[in-house]
Chain A
Amino acid sequence: MNASPVLLDVRDLKVHLRVGPVLVKAIDGVDFQVRHGECVGIVGESGSGKSTMARAVTRLMPNVAIGELSGRLTFDGRDILGMPDAELRRLRRGRGFSMIFQDPLGYLNPTQRIGRQIGEALARDAGAGADQARIRTLLDEVGLPDPANIARRYPHELSGGQRQRVMIAIALASDPQLLFADEPTTALDATVQLQVLQTLYRLHRERNMAMAIITHDLGVVAELCDRVYVMRAGKVVESAETVTLFENPAHDYSRRLIELSTRRHTRGAGA
């Protein structure tokens, strides 16, 4: 696993946000790597900077209130932070990186049919007929039954799990080398969570697609990830192979997270 070359390389990333007169150091000097075909977990409590990091790395930060954004950020050897918008768009459209979000209802346009929202993410090289076929293939690939029917529907007509699968289909449309998943199952029912995670894992293996999963749930990490970064207050406090982290956590904070998560899971099983 470690033999494969580094796909995403983040060095000394700093994201400082201006909140009124205060400068909040949301990300304060983070190093972070994802190799080709690898699945990496980023864990931490809410407010630890996990999502901000994903947004910064994928250049999806809101344009407001950024005090400082610095560091060295390369994807496939190309500089991301200084990349011109047009080139960045090309990268997002083909063989680059995609992202899925915690709240699929809010991140899908309520007034457009699913098919159109997926079609928009496809590279514009095929005709409309071919597009329809590709949309259906994608919906089928993320495990949605009756893709032709789903493509005609609106987001509010689907269940939470179906919507998240649609988000995944949109993310896959550009055939990305790296998929960021920001709390992909937090908003879903427990049973649906597992199914969506299994689908993500299957896609990761089948497509040999690298994944970075952001979560506060160590259970998710244990199931899916090869390596883990533990974040706290804008810094990475520990990074290790998943097995190493669970068996022998180096940092106090990681140990507490693991303890809490095991306790919760045992209690959940007993109830």
Chain B
Amino acid sequence: MLRFIGRRALYAIPLLLVIVVLMFSMLHLIPGDPVQALVGDYPVPPAYRQAIEEKYRLNDPFLVQVGNYLANVVQGDFGFSYQNQRTVLSLILERAPRTILLAAVSFGLAIPLGMLIGIACGTTRHPGVDKFWTTTALIAYAIPTFWLGQLFVMFFALKLGWFPTQGIGPMVSRTQGFAWVLERIRYLALPVMAFGIHEGMRIARIMRASVIDTLSQGYIVTARAKGLGRGQIIRSHVLRNSSLPLVTIAGYAFGHALGGAVLLETVFTWPGLGLLLVDAIRLRDNMTVVGVVIFSAIAVVVMNLVVDLLYAMLDPRIRTMR
């Protein structure tokens, strides 16, 4: 098992290196002038331009720049954001926990919700139940999260006033203990609902298909022949076996979510990685853009590794393969 993990992790290294180089090169190809962006809508004095270009070594040959950047990244130095006057690493470290919180709570609700609906649809004897949830899931999944988020803001925040419209709460909170948790929940509620419903319905659709497939397997007939009840068959034979495709897809989606949900964070002004990325692109803060994208790539690669491990845990056939 340890060797399996080690090998998977090794595969990830060249992949990440390629991503770093690719991202850095792409930014160079995009037209635009970082010095101009730094100054704003004024003409740049030539002396100032020269000073900046020397300070940040903008005139070095491209390959030298890539090489320097790569060497720095390997040492954990993602560069300096001159828009924010801070290191990119400190920016990412500040923003990432917020994005992770949003993604974790959303998926923490979406996975059980989706599994429940999927199992209910897949195992029900009443076609009406299946039809109702299949249609609901399809519609809910088709609605973009940012639009659903805006609807929620209009209704729950502006009309009813139950939840704040945006943000993650006051920088310095006056509440403590349980009240503090409650305050966090109020700020989390709307983005989590928008995100969780979308992902939950995706999971429900996969789970339903997977449960139906599992129910057609021979070992379900064996379980019936053993005299097991319906609930028992679902618990011990359907649940685990039909979770396999779910692990792949939910794990992958979660990896993506860790890189920041750009639209959702914009709608709710949720100061996570997605919003950081949008702002950085707008301000041509190249180092930050590359840093966030590399962080996302690492998140996806790590989640894929976790998916592989979960898969091996759930399915003994994978463990003995290789």
CB distance from A219 to the nearest CB of B (A): 26
CB-defined contacts of A231 to chain B, threshold 8 Å: none
A111 at the interface (CB under 8 A from B): yes
CA distance A39 to B264 in the complex (A): 68
Q: Which residues of B contact A211 (CB under 8 A)?
A: none
Contact status B217-A120, CB under 8 Å: no
Question: What residue of chain A has the Cβ atom nearest to residue B319's Cβ?
Answer: A154
The answer to whether A107 and B316 touch across the interface, beta carbons within 8 angstroms, is: no
A174-202 contacts to B, CB under 8 A, are 174
Determine if B226 is an interface residue (Cβ-Cβ < 8 Å): yes
Which residues of B lie under 8 Å from residue A99 when comparing CB positions? 225
With both chains docked as a complex, state the minimum distance between the C-beta of A168 and any C-beta of chain B, in angstroms. 12
- A96 and B224 alpha carbons, distance in the complex (Å): 13
A108 sits at the interface (CB 8 A): yes
Closest approach, in angstroms, between the C-beta of B314 and any C-beta of chain A?
7
Assign chain B's interface to a size class: 20 to 34
Pick the most buried of A103, A108, A111, A174: most chain B CB atoms within 10 A of its CB. Answer: A111
In the complex where A89-B227, A120-B226, A121-B227 touch, is A111 in contact with B221 (Cβ < 8 A)? no
A149 to chain B, nearest CB (A): 15
* Number of residues from A at the complex interface, CB < 8 A: 32
A121 pairs with B226, CB closer than 8 A: yes
Docked-complex contact B227 and A111, CB < 8 angstroms: no
Expressed in whole angstroms, the minimum distance between the Cβ of B62 and any Cβ of chain A is 52
Cα–Cα, bound, A112→B233 (Å): 13
- CB-nearest residue of chain B to A103: B218
Tell me if A92 is interfacial: C-beta within 8 Å of chain B. Answer: yes
Do the beta carbons of A170 and B222 come within 8 Å of each other?
yes
List, in ascending order, chain B residues with CB within 8 A of A90's CB.
Answer: 227
The yes or no answer to B223 lying at the interface (CB within 8 A) is: yes
A60: chain B residues within 8 A (beta carbon): 221, 224-225
Q: Which residues of chain B come closer than 8 Å to A170, judged between CB atoms?
A: 222, 226
Contacts of A93 in B (CB 8 A): 226-227
Q: A91-B227, A156-B320, A170-B226 are in contact. Are A109 and B241 (CB under 8 A)?
A: yes
Q: Given contacts A92-B227, A121-B227, A154-B320, could you give 4 more A-B pairs where the C-beta distance is less than 8 Å?
A: A107-B219, A108-B222, A117-B222, A120-B236
